[in-house]
Amino acid sequence: MSLLIALYQVFGFPIGIGITIIVGWYFLKNPEKFEKWVSMIAWFVSYIWKNAEYFATKSEIQGRINSFIAGLEANTTTTFPRIALRWKARGTDEIVWDEGQAIIVMRDRNHRSKNLIHAAYLFTAEALLKKSARHLSKTQKTSLDLFSTKLILEKESKFAVEQFMSEYFAPEIDKNEAIRGLIQQYVHIERLGAFFPILIQELTYLGSKVFLAKPSSEIIAEVKSLVEFLEKFAEREVGDTTTPDTFVGKYMRCAIRIVASRAVRERGDITSHKERINYCVQGKFENIYIIGSGERKNIKFMDEVAGACLSENEGLEKTRGYQFRGKIKINGNLTNVSTYLIHLHNPSAVKYLYEANDIDTEIT
């Protein structure tokens, strides 16, 4: 016993300091996780001190939504905005009334799910997909807002997603066939793991482009084609080589390259894959997504292919490589697999300014 006390006296203080530093560092790197913890504590405190509810509501909404965004940024190259809830009309605080800036009503502790749904939906529509939805039709935008909010709530609150699906999602797709059809396509795309990493990514790039002649119906049709292309790709059977793996639009060009079959990987020859990707780079594809199995050997092989392409094409950038769980079709059955995706961005192919009838003829 006395030995334990002696050990505690010697090591207790430095261990305590060490743990505090590690926890502090973790929360400093992940402020949204800190907010989630703070909100849990604040909800307990609010039983005794009612004003803690303001803090609990704010930190819960910020913590949950920003936590989803942080996860999203780890899987895409896009930087998404963070949410910050600002209370208005608390006590005698001055109300700064901005034209066109809505104030949403937050309810008490019995309506935490509703509060999260309202904040998440508004944030998704006004900020998260702001750039990517810039040139979309009303139906395309609403379907993306609904589907993205579903993904946020699914990850962050099981209670809220249940309420959202029954009160918002289902009635909206019941009354609008076009939205139902688009959501169906997003479900297939998301199954592969390509909703945010490829579809939203492509739409975000599209949102950065400026159209001098406002070809809105043309862009809307092109987005529709992109969604169809990604859906078809997501629904392909493993081994099927007939499904298109390149999308050539007037404003967006992307390619998906599968790397590699076991036979090719075991041969260790990267040449054919490298040449197919180089062909896309020379063909002015803006983004090339290399996708394949997340097995360690395959990741190594994919990195070798990407590395060879990067060294042969000046200006080509590897924006991200990451692993996730995706579903692929084998003999008609969906199988959950570890997937690895490398995003190569080709800045020299990007055109930011489009004039009327501005058709680039470099791709045939």
- Give the interface with other proteins as residue ranges (CB under 8 A): 53-54, 57-58, 79, 81-91, 95, 97-108, 114, 118-119, 121-123, 125-127, 133-134, 138, 141-142, 145-146, 167-168, 171-172, 214
Q: CA angle at residue 322 from 316 to 325, to 5 degrees?
A: 140
The CB-of-249 to other proteins minimum distance in angstroms stands at 21
Contact 201, 77 (CB under 8 A): yes
Contact 287, 343 (CB under 8 A): yes
Contact 181, 172 (CB under 8 A): no
Q: Which is nearer to other proteins, 83 or 288 (CB)?
A: 83
The CB-of-120 to other proteins minimum distance in angstroms stands at 10
Q: Which is nearer to other proteins, 207 or 321 (CB)?
A: 207
The CB-of-92 to other proteins minimum distance in angstroms stands at 9
The CB-of-122 to other proteins minimum distance in angstroms stands at 6
Q: Which is nearer to other proteins, 85 or 299 (CB)?
A: 85
Exposed, middle or buried, 79 (CB in 10 Å: 0-12/13-18/19+)? exposed
Closest CA to 194 of 154, 230, 241: 230
How many Cβ atoms are within 10 Å of 302's Cβ, its own excluded?
Answer: 26
How many Cβ atoms are within 10 Å of 319's Cβ, its own excluded?
Answer: 13
Distance of CA 4 to the CA centre of its chain: 50
Q: Which is nearer to other proteins, 134 or 318 (CB)?
A: 134
Q: Which is nearer to other proteins, 105 or 263 (CB)?
A: 105
Q: Which is nearer to other proteins, 29 or 267 (CB)?
A: 29
The CB-of-361 to other proteins minimum distance in angstroms stands at 29
The CB-of-112 to other proteins minimum distance in angstroms stands at 13
The Cα 341–Cα 359 span in angstroms is: 30
The Cα 240–Cα 45 span in angstroms is: 58
